[in-house]
């Protein structure tokens, strides 16, 4: 057991400062912790998730759910004809919603920066400065490999005829064996 009460399978040495600076140069590592002592990664994750959950609920700001409710009410009023969109209220509300979503995302990322400063990225939301690794890489093969593949391929018609010939020959062999008995 570790000192936090979690199993020792969650205790690891954090990555070295050199590793973090070489591999994640946009990340500011936490220099105040002792990286020679085991840390409970689960405790760090739970603390970070609690901070991220607090970041989702914005104090003093209008919540995303309230703004979305206002947008739906305004859309219903416009479609029913009881209210006209004077002053472009709908686009202003939609912009307000987008700004609220961006602000919430930014607060969540700020909450995760402490965890990333210890363990490096890999968990949590995508970072804005993160490199994109989902790019497809086209690999060109030498002509020799392509020629070898072309030799192996058999046209579909020829393969079908060969299969029919094999089945006819096999049935002929079976009937000749039966006649010999």
Asked if 76 and 105 count as a contact pair (C-beta separation under 8 A), the reply is no
Q: Report if residue 133 sits inside a domain.
A: no
Q: Report if residue 135 sits inside a domain.
A: no
Q: Report if residue 129 sits inside a domain.
A: no
Q: Report if residue 27 sits inside a domain.
A: yes
Asked if 42 and 12 count as a contact pair (C-beta separation under 8 A), the reply is no
Q: Report if residue 36 sits inside a domain.
A: yes
In tens, the pLDDT along 10-61 reads 888 999 999 998 888 888 999 999 999 999 999 999 999 999 988 887 666 7
Q: How many domains does the chain have?
A: 2
The reply to whether 14 and 83 lie within a common domain is yes
pTM of the model: 0.59
Domain residues for the domain of 19 are 8-119
Calpha distance 36→16 (Å, rounded) = 9
């Amino acid at each position: 057991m570790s000192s936090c009460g979690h199993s020792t399978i969650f205790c690891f040495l954090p990555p070295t400062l050199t590793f973090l600076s070489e591999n994640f140069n946009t990340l500011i590592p936490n220099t105040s912790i002792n990286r020679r002592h085991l840390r409970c990664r689960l405790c760090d994750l739970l603390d970070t998730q609690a901070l991220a959950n607090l970041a989702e609920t914005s104090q003093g700001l209008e919540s995303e759910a309230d703004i979305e409710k206002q947008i739906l009410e305004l859309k219903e009023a416009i479609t029913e004809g009881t209210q006209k969109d004077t002053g472009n209220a709908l686009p202003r509300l939609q912009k307000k919603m987008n700004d609220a979503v961006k602000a919430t995302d930014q607060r969540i990322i700020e909450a995760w920066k402490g965890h990333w400063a210890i363990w490096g990225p890999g968990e949590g939301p995508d970072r804005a400065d993160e490199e994109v690794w989902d790019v497809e890489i086209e690999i060109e093969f030498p002509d020799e490999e392509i020629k070898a593949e072309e030799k192996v391929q058999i046209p579909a018609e020829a393969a079908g005829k060969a299969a029919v010939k094999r089945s006819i020959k096999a049935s002929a062999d079976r009937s000749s064996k039966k006649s010999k008995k």
